[in-house]
Amino acid sequence: MENLVAGGFLAGVLDVTTTELADDLVGGVLSAGPDRLEAAGAAGVPQVVSLGALDMVNFGPRETVPERFEGRNLYVHNPTITLMRTTPEECRELGRQVGAKLAAATGPTALVAPRRGVSMIAVEGQPFHDPAADQALFGGLSETAAEVEVHELDLDVNDERFAPGDGEPSARDDPGSTTTRRWIAMFVPLSDVRREEFDWGVIGWRMVPAKGARHLVVMDVELQPGGGHDFHRHPGQEEMILVKEGHDHPVRRGGVQDPERWRLGPRARRRRPCVFQ
């Protein structure tokens, strides 16, 4: 994503999960490097940022966790992923880093902070619930983010009211806010998504001009197994396709890739959000 922003491909950023910062600080396997969370600010691209999964450092299978971390709060997510809870000291430094990166941004920037948990296993009753670490994270933010538009919501990051498309919590907290309301409210709430059915699948419109979006359209697309649509173009626009489930491939004619039609695999099912700029 940092490269997409730097390359001028994105008109705005909703950066909800910043967990790579924890891996870079502590030594996990999913670091995105020390420049994570800086590209949008440097390019002046509007951004709405949150603190998703800053409670965890990522490793592979349990036996691959470095010996120096034995005794830490470890959670085996599945046979190939082991998570480690960040400490209060690490969380305070992460808060400082996030605040400093956002404070240096040259474009509209807002931070939305979920006070009741930054991941599904950091809420009360779950293995990474640690009020002291959470408080340290917010304390670190306050040290460096004094000039940043911050919205602290009494929700956890996975609460449906926190999701992009429902801007009401931030709007209630600060009716005078513009950045958060403008960018988050451009997303259509899931309950209001307009769906259109075609002979090749279904489209759900998530960000549309009617909601104020001028440079970006986001849609959820679901194709049935074996389905597809005719090749077409969008002149003057860029298209990004994120395949969330299943796979696609071009039908071949004479052993050559045929761009005239795209299909799913025989047993696949796919939802395909397409972003046009």
pLDDT digits (tens, 9 = 90+) for 69-124: 999 999 999 999 999 999 999 999 999 999 999 999 999 999 999 999 999 999 99
Q: What is the CATH number of domain 2-59+85-184?
A: 3.40.50.12030
Residues of the chain with CATH 2.60.120.10: 190-276
Which pLDDT band, with edges at 50, 70 and 90, does 213 fall under? Answer: low
In the three-class reduction of DSSP (H, G, I as helix; E, B as strand; rest coil), residue 179 is classed as helix
Which pLDDT band, with edges at 50, 70 and 90, does 128 fall under? Answer: very high
**In whole angstroms, how far apart are CA 127 and each of 25, 76, 162?**
21, 11, 22
Q: What is the mean pLDDT of residues 226-239?
A: 73
137-191: pLDDT as tens digits: 999 999 999 989 999 999 999 988 876 444 444 433 443 345 555 666 667 777 7
Q: What is the DSSP letter of 230?
A: B
Q: What is the CATH number of domain 190-276?
A: 2.60.120.10
Which pLDDT band, with edges at 50, 70 and 90, does 247 fall under? Answer: low
Please check whether residue 21 is in contact with residue 94, taking contact to mean a CB–CB distance below 8 angstroms.
yes
Determine the pLDDT at residue 270.
Answer: 38
Determine the pLDDT at residue 232.
Answer: 72
Q: What is the mean pLDDT of residues 24-38?
A: 96
Residues of the chain with CATH 3.40.50.12030: 2-59+85-184
Which pLDDT band, with edges at 50, 70 and 90, does 248 fall under? Answer: low
Please check whether residue 73 is in contact with residue 127, taking contact to mean a CB–CB distance below 8 angstroms.
yes
**pLDDT of 210 higher than 80:** no
Distance CA 15, CA 50 (A): 6
Distance CA 2, CA 104 (A): 16
φ, ψ dihedrals at 231, nearest 5°: -60, 135
Average of per-residue pLDDT values in the chain: 81
Distance CA 26, CA 18 (A): 14
